Amino acid sequence: MKEISQTADTTIDMQFKALSDGTRRALLEYLVREGEQSVHALTAIAGVSQPMVSRHMAKLKRTELVTVRRAGRETFYAARAKGLAPVVQWMAVYGALWSQRFTALEGMEA
| β strands within 1-110, DSSP E | 37-38, 66-71, 74-79
- Cβ contact 98:60 at 8 Å: no
pLDDT tens for residues 24-54? Answer: 999 999 999 999 999 999 999 999 999 999 9
Answer CATH for 6-109 from 1.10.10.10, 1.10.10.60, 3.40.50.300, 3.20.20.210: 1.10.10.10
CB 15 within 8 A of CB 84: yes
* pLDDT recorded at residue 58: 97
Higher per-residue pLDDT: 21 or 7: 21
Q: Give the start-to-end residue ranges of the domains of the chain.
A: 6-109
Residue 3 has pLDDT above 80, yes or no: no
Measured CA to CA, the distance from residue 13 to residue 87 in angstroms comes to: 9
Paired with 68 in beta bridges are: 77
31 contacts 79 by C-beta, under 8 angstroms = yes
Q: Cα–chain-centroid distance for residue 28?
A: 7
pLDDT in the model for residue 30: 97
Q: Are 69 and 37 in contact (CB under 8 A)?
A: no
